[in-house]
Chains A and B, each alone.
Chain A
Amino acid sequence: MNIQFRDRPEQAPAASVKTAIADCDIHPARATPTELGPYLAKRWHEHLQTYGKHAYQGMMEGPPYPKAQPNASRRDAYPPEGGPQGSSLSFMQKQHLDPNNVALGVLNPLATGQGIRNQDLAGAICSAINDWQIEKWTARDSRLKGSVVVANEDGVAAAAEIRKRAGDRNFVQVLLLSRNVEPLGQRRYWPIYEAAQEIGLPVGVHAFGFGGNPITASGWPSYYIEEMVGHSQCQQTALASIVLEGVFERYPKLKMVMIEAGFGWAPSLAWRLDKNFERLHSEVPQLKRKPSEYIRDHIWWTTQPMEDPERRDHLFELIEWIGWDKLLFATDYPHWDYDEPSRVLPAGVSDTNREAFYLGNAKKLYGIA
């Protein structure tokens, strides 16, 4: 019998070494507002001081809907040295990477230059974020890999930033957000896809974004919960646009990852697209195959927030359609809707599928040995 008093509870030590996992959605944050300074030219320091940032959305800073937890993050994820959740590499290692045995962690920075109307400023901040990812994260922990963020509304400048990172193994994907000024299949975004295909990186599309449009197709809803479920709606619009505009015909080697927007809707969207395609084929002759075939061949899906139907056979049927080789495990650390690795997959999954789900698919897609 022993009684210990302590300031804050520590994570219980694992009973045994956990199986290695990939976490395909980790959000790194800046510890201070000035942390990006060294990566920005003096011209932009002065610009930001004088003019600030002009965003596509009505809010000057932050998301359109206030979040349910501070910084939309776990309350237990504040680093002991201060700063917001996700801003300390050492604490991320201690709280997440080490105890969960994360062998590959993909960084998806969300607060970047995306969404800023001044495209030169947007590009400068995105490029700074990319340098910052290397210096603060990937160079210091080889398990972590970055995502090339780009000024999404300026396809030409975005493509130049992508090509600048060609061959740099600090990065494993190009990152876009789901909500842009126009649906993501539009031609203004094609230079991004062309450059990504050229340098051999998949394009991830993460929920959120700053296009200035409401989260739903029918206006601004009242509640945060509506924004949370609205993400799948935006993602479906983005995906339908990408498929129907013929992006995968134009860039046949392009791979895309749908990040944090669910996957349960994938079969129904594909069925509906196929059904209409049979009747409206002449409108979109650029498609040589059924929409569902492009989706199955070109799209990978991160798991968090995991679909959680009452009956696990429903989950397995969904995954059967998508393919066990197309799911990428993700936690969303340090965000509040984090998925705990040990609690995500129900019993009844073969060892082969389990390994693919947690690690194998990600290593293959992102080219990690």
Chain B
Amino acid sequence: MVRHVIAPVDELPPGTRKFLTIDERPIAVFNINGEFFGLLNRCPHQGAALCEGPLIGLATSSDPGEIEYTRLSEILRCPWHGWEFDIRTGQSYCDPKRFRAKAYPVNVEPGSAVVKGPYVAETLAVSVESDYVVVDL
């Protein structure tokens, strides 16, 4: 596993997402209310750019007429067929047994740790004063 430094934390404020390619893999990193999530930008269903889809909540129902809407902004909906995936785990809600979106751990690390490495950040200048978003893959 290689740890990739992708951006200073300030460049990825809550509600934004960043698209990048690492080792020829299209990745998207999301900041949702200060939490960071990484996903492969390819829908396991038919291959769409999954991470271009809207973030929605999870509608569940215990009985007809009883609807709960929870986990606001934590469900990613594919821009093609609307398949829903859990941003935390990549789990599919349409067909969890056959399909899962590839999720990558994302963390915030202080510049002092990033400078020591081992990290990969060829296009970023890293300073000890800042915090950085780091993707593991």
Report A's interface with B, CB cutoff 8 A.
Answer: 1-9, 11-12, 68-69, 74-76, 336-340, 342-343
CA distance A336 to B53 in the complex (A): 12
- Main SS of the interface on chain B? loop
Which of A1, A74, A336 lies in contact with B120, CB distance below 8 A?
A1
Determine whether the beta carbon of A1 is less than 8 Å from that of B20: no
Q: How many residues of B contact A (CB 8 A)?
A: 30
A12 to B47, CA, bound (A): 11
Asked whether B120 lies within 8 Å of A9 as measured between CB atoms, the reply is no
In the bound complex, residues from chain B placing their C-beta under 8 Å from that of A338 are 46, 80-81
Are B19 and A342 in contact, with the CB atoms below 8 A?
no
Given contacts A3-B123, A12-B26, whether A337 and B81 have CB atoms under 8 Å apart is yes
B121 within 8 Å of A (CB atoms): yes
Grouping DSSP codes into helix (H, G, I), strand (E, B) and loop, the A interface class, with mixed when no group exceeds half, is loop
Query: Chain A contacts of B47 at CB under 8 A?
Result: 340, 342-343
Contact A6 B22 (CB under 8 A): no
| A3 & B79 in contact (Cβ 8 Å cutoff) | no
A75-B53, A75-B80 given; 12 more Cβ-contact pairs under 8 Å: A2-B123, A3-B120, A5-B18, A8-B19, A9-B21, A9-B41, A68-B82, A76-B48, A336-B80, A337-B80, A338-B46, A340-B48
> How many contacts A-B (CB < 8 Å)?
75
Q: Hey, which chain B residues are within 8 Å of A8, CB to CB?
A: 19, 52
Interface centre among B6, B79, B121, B124, by most chain A C-beta atoms within 10 angstroms, is B79
Q: Are the CB atoms of B19 and A69 closer together than 8 Å?
A: no
Whether, in the assembled complex, B23 has its beta carbon less than 8 Å from a beta carbon of chain A, the answer is: yes
A9 near B80 (CB under 8 angstroms)?
no
Contact partner of A2 (CB less than 8 A), chosen from B26, B28, B48, B122, is B122
Given the complex, which residues of A lie within 8 Å of B4, measured CB to CB? 3
Task: Among A3, A6, A336, A339, find the residue whose CB has the most chain B CB atoms closer than 10 A.
Answer: A3
Say whether B20 contacts A3, CB under 8 Å: yes
B52 and A3 form a contact (CB under 8 A): no
Q: B residues 8-36 with Cβ under 8 Å of A?
A: 18-23, 26, 28
What is the bound-complex CA distance between A3 and B48, given in angstroms? Answer: 21
